[in-house]
Amino acid sequence: MSVTIAVDAMGGDHGPAVTVPASLQFVARHPDVRIILVGIAGAVEHALAAATPSARERIEVRAASETVDMDEPPADALRRKKDSSMRVAIDLVKSGAADACVSAGNTGALMAIARFVLKTLPGIDRPAIASQLPTRRGTTLMLDLGANVNCTSEQLVQFAAMGSALVAAVDGIERPTVGLLNVGEEDIKGNDLVRETSERLKASGLNFHGNVEGSDIYKGTTDVVVCDGFVGNVALKTSEGLAQMLYEFLRAEFARNALTRVAASVAWPVLRAFKRRIDPRRYNGAMLVGLKGVVVKSHGGADAVAFVNALARAHAEVAHGVLDRIAQRISAHA
Amino acid sequence: MSVTIAVDAMGGDHGPAVTVPASLQFVARHPDVRIILVGIAGAVEHALAAATPSARERIEVRAASETVDMDEPPADALRRKKDSSMRVAIDLVKSGAADACVSAGNTGALMAIARFVLKTLPGIDRPAIASQLPTRRGTTLMLDLGANVNCTSEQLVQFAAMGSALVAAVDGIERPTVGLLNVGEEDIKGNDLVRETSERLKASGLNFHGNVEGSDIYKGTTDVVVCDGFVGNVALKTSEGLAQMLYEFLRAEFARNALTRVAASVAWPVLRAFKRRIDPRRYNGAMLVGLKGVVVKSHGGADAVAFVNALARAHAEVAHGVLDRIAQRISAHA
């Protein structure tokens, strides 16, 4: 089976300087993949100049005349930029010319355009943003990470069903455990939304573990962690900030004086292994789930290594038939 | 000025085995402090056996016949256990016999009893739980961390005013900057609650920085970070879980083989300094703010080192006249 991925070549902080080399690397590693680079033709072709002929063979360029700015209001991007690289990339998924689309651009705009063009799957009110996070046991899928800052309990149950279907399909876990993010494990804890959602999840037929706390995310207590987009976004960004601070403190301690710098040189291979293990680039590629199409959002500041992982995420979603699995699960739990 | 602290000696996972030695250490270091240990007399006296006469002089024991269980519903602890160590310790603050109370017990029960016995300050609807967190620049005060899972914008503004007053009093910062935790920096981002709170904060006369994201907490972008208790609790516990995971990964890398273990021994002083720098025990002691009395909550699993820090927090609040400062600020912003 050949997989075609439409890449918003202009998206992200670095545009074609990252998206094009990453695309070339990805097709070189995956003989079954074709990539359509969507963007300002000159800029894309320029970045493609270094491509080997064999990689170039499976890369197509589709011109788009506009780009969506990183801080552009999503409604403006949707209404006024019908020929943006982001829009054209999503249109390619809609038309069936591509199996998936990857963008490092403006998250809100990507969500708005994807929802408008692709529509949601039957039984899904709102799409969610899902991401895989590293845990002490492996990985966990968390959603929503910011698409929906006001959620109903019904939507949270839909997120749980989608997350379960995704993990079942991609990671091959038959009945993934689902945790509901709360301020305590007891049923009586939490706000009204969470209590109501908990009752619904118990009756949903999903493998509901119960409430989980923030600390359970990285413990890997459940395969899926469900929360509203406000809470999820705060948890994710708090994690990013903390990891950065801890890494900086560790560096500072090793840079303190001549003696600690000697220690650093001895410990260097270990520290490098540690850094690699927690490298956020490994987890780059958030999935917009609940749409009639595979859309993956790369971090805006992604480099080529990180963007390749976002492409891999899109590829895996297509290869594992995630869309069908979600649709099946939603109809089963409707 | 002499400061008297009532200690719930039975609270926490370890009870008198931690609270008593910590109290002895604290009075030994602070000649101006007296401590009233409240608890089951036999258990407290037993733990006190090792006290030096000079420390023992400034320790008083007050018997209480009951203890609040860690998982007891707060309403039960409030209604049925009128002679619990927690209740008696708070009563001592109410009567003026103590200037502050410290407990490592059940958070919900502590909040419920403290609210019932002490009442809130004029102009404050609900108390909040505040804690100082380490950042790349120093520390930041975050609230609410779990007392109020459903907040109004008015309450969030009160939290902002209380947090500002606390930081102004204890850290000597004249006009602390206040950040409102949100999913993005732009005004249009967030849910209805946050947008409404943002408008109120702009008009509040506080030094409102604007919206901050989760990553800003550990960057130290603002002196105070305000959020509802659901979000704050998730952010805090997610941080705890992540820090634990990262530390475990670091240990695992250094323990991998003979070579990495040599590296570990060389790097050991540096790793120890790093660990000390991020030691959560340094930040133990959450403040229940908005009450007519100083109440500090220690982590339930605290050891003596951590509990001493909770005592220090209570001591600092009293010494800096935080209650008056909060009351002044609230009336100024009412």
SS3 annotation, A108-147: HHHHHHHHHHHCECCCCCCCEEEEEEECCCCEEEEECCCC
A230 in the same domain as A139? yes
pLDDT at B267: 87
Q: CB neighbours (10 Å) of residue B248? A: 12
State how far the Cα of B238 lies from the Cα of B236, in Å rounded to an integer. 5
| DSSP 3-state of A163 | helix
| Alpha-carbon span A165 to B316, nearest angstrom | 52
How far apart are the C-alpha atoms of A312 and B226, rounded to whole Å? 38
Mean pLDDT across chain B: 93
The residues near B97 (Cβ < 8 Å, ≥ 6 apart) are B4, B6, B36
The CATH number of residue B268's host domain is: 3.40.718.10
Contact in structure between B307 and B9 (CB atoms under 8 Å): no
Question: Is the same domain home to A111 and A134?
Answer: no
**B323 belongs to a structural domain:** no
Token pair listed for B69: 């269980």
Contacts across the A-B interface (CB distance below 8 Å)? 177
In degrees to the nearest 10, what's the CA dihedral of B8, B10, B11, B13?
A: 150
Amino acid at B83: D
Can you give the C-alpha Rg of chain A in angstroms?
21
Q: Which residues of chain B have a CB within 8 Å of the CB of A263?
A: 266-267, 269-270
The C-alpha atoms of residue A141 and residue A189 are separated, in whole angstroms, by 23
Who among A215, A216, A266 is closest to B266 (CB)? Answer: A266
* DSSP type of residue B121: P
A61: β partners:
A37
For the stretch B12-50, pLDDT in tens is 999 999 999 999 999 999 999 999 999 999 999 999 998
- Domain range for A205 is 125-288
Residues B80 and B138 in one domain: no
Identify the bridge partners of residue B85 per DSSP, sorted by sequence position.
none
In contact, B211 and B198? CB cutoff 8 Å: yes
Q: Does the beta-carbon distance from A214 to B248 stay under 8 Å?
A: no
- Token pair listed for A7: 């890449």
Query: Inter-chain contact B249–A278, Cβ cutoff 8 Å?
Result: yes
User: Do B267 and A246 make contact, defined as CB atoms within 8 angstroms?
Assistant: no
Question: What is the least distance, in Å, from the CA of B143 to any CA of chain A?
Answer: 14
Q: In terms of domains, do B178 and B271 share one?
A: yes
pLDDT tens, residue by residue, B67-121: 999 989 999 999 999 999 999 999 999 999 999 999 999 999 999 999 999 999 9
Q: Are residues B176 and B75 in the same domain?
A: no
Each residue's pLDDT tens digit in chain A (334 positions)? Answer: 799 999 999 999 999 999 999 999 999 999 999 999 999 999 999 999 988 888 888 999 999 999 999 989 999 999 999 999 999 999 999 999 999 999 999 999 999 999 999 999 998 999 999 999 999 989 999 999 998 888 999 999 999 999 999 999 999 999 999 999 998 766 667 788 999 999 999 999 999 999 999 999 999 999 999 999 999 999 999 999 999 999 889 888 898 888 888 888 888 888 888 888 888 888 999 999 999 999 999 999 999 999 999 999 999 999 999 999 888 888 876 5
Q: What is the pLDDT of residue B139?
A: 94
Instruction: Give Dmax (Cα) for chain A.
Output: 64
Chain B residue with minimum CA distance to A267: B263
Pairing of strands B139-143, B128-134: antiparallel
Whether B297 and B178 share a structural domain: no
Closest chain B residue to A245 measured between Cα atoms?
B136
- In this structure, the answer to whether residues B269 and B296 fall within a common structural domain is no
Same domain, residue pair A281 and A156: yes
> A278 with A139, same domain?
yes
Q: Any alpha helices (H) in chain A, and if so which ranges?
A: 16-29, 41-48, 53-57, 74-80, 85-95, 107-118, 153-171, 192-202, 214-219, 229-254, 258-277, 304-319, 322-333
Chain A interface mutation, best of B239, B261, B299, highest count of A Cβ atoms under 10 Å? B239
Residue A137 neighbours by CB under 8 Å, 6+ apart: A219, A220
Which has the closest alpha carbon to B89: B119, B116, B110?
Answer: B110
Indicate if A88 and A184 belong to the same structural domain.
no
Q: How far is CA B143 from CA A282, B157, B236, in A?
A: 33, 11, 10
Could you tell me if residue B309 is inside a domain? no
Distance CA B134, CA A246 (A): 10
Cβ-defined contact of A150 to B213 (cutoff 8 Å): no
- Residue B266: closest CA among chain A residues belongs to which residue? A263
pLDDT tens-digit readout, B299-332: 999 999 999 999 999 999 999 999 998 888 888 7
**In sequence order, what DSSP letters do the residues of A235-275 get, joined into one string?**
HHHHHHHHHHHHHHHHHHHHTSSHHHHHHHHHHHHHHHHHH
Report yes or no on B322 lying in a domain: no
Q: For chain A, how many structural domains are there in total?
A: 2
Let me know if residue A330 belongs to a domain: no
> CA quadruple A214, A216, A220, A223: dihedral positive or negative?
negative
Pick B240's closest partner by Cβ from A215, A250, A269.
A215
Beta strand A286-289 pairing with A128-134? antiparallel
Question: Side by side, which strands form the sheet with B294-297?
Answer: B59-63, B33-39, B3-8, B100-103, B294-297, B286-289, B128-134, B139-143, B224-226, B177-181, B207-212
* Alpha carbon B268 to its chain's center: 31
Residues 6+ apart with CB under 8 A from B270: A253, A254, A256, A260, A263, A264, A267
- Give me the residue from B191, B238, B245 closest to A230, CB to CB: B191
Q: pLDDT tens for residues B176-228? A: 999 999 987 666 677 889 999 999 999 999 999 999 999 999 999 999 999 99
**pTM for the model:** 0.92
Alpha-carbon distance of A6 to B298, in angstroms, equals 53
CB spacing of A242 vs B218 below 8 angstroms: yes
Cβ burial of B151 (10 Å; 0-12, 13-18, 19+) is buried
Do A224 and A278 belong together in one domain?
Answer: yes
pLDDT tens-place string over residues A230-262? 999 999 999 999 999 998 898 888 988 888 888
Produce one character per residue of A6-32: b if its CB has 16 or more CB atoms within 10 Å, e if not. bbbbbbbebbbbbbbbbbbbbbeebee
- pLDDT at residue A185, as a whole number: 64
Close Cβ partners of A2 (under 8 Å, ≥ 6 residues apart): A32, A33, A34
Residue B25 located in a structural domain: yes
Q: Which tokens hold the place of B57? A: 């002089």
Task: ipTM value, please give it.
Answer: 0.90
Chain A: residue whose CA lies nearest to B249: A274
Residue A149 within any structural domain of the chain: yes
Is A317 within a domain?
A: yes
User: Quick one: which of B24, B21, B84 has its CA closest to B58?
Assistant: B24
- Rounded Cα distance between A201 and A189, Å, is 16
Rounded to an integer, the average pLDDT of B134-145 is 94
CA distance B180 to chain A (A): 12
In a domain, B315, yes or no: no
Residue type, A228: D
Q: Do A260 and B250 touch (CB under 8 A)?
A: no
Q: Are residues B281 and B173 in the same domain?
A: yes
Residues from chain A contacting residue B233 (CB–CB below 8 Å): 183, 213-214
Q: Given this model, what pLDDT does residue A54 score?
A: 83
Question: Which residue stretches of B85-177 are H helix?
Answer: 85-95, 107-118, 153-171
CB contact under 8 A, B214 and A236: yes
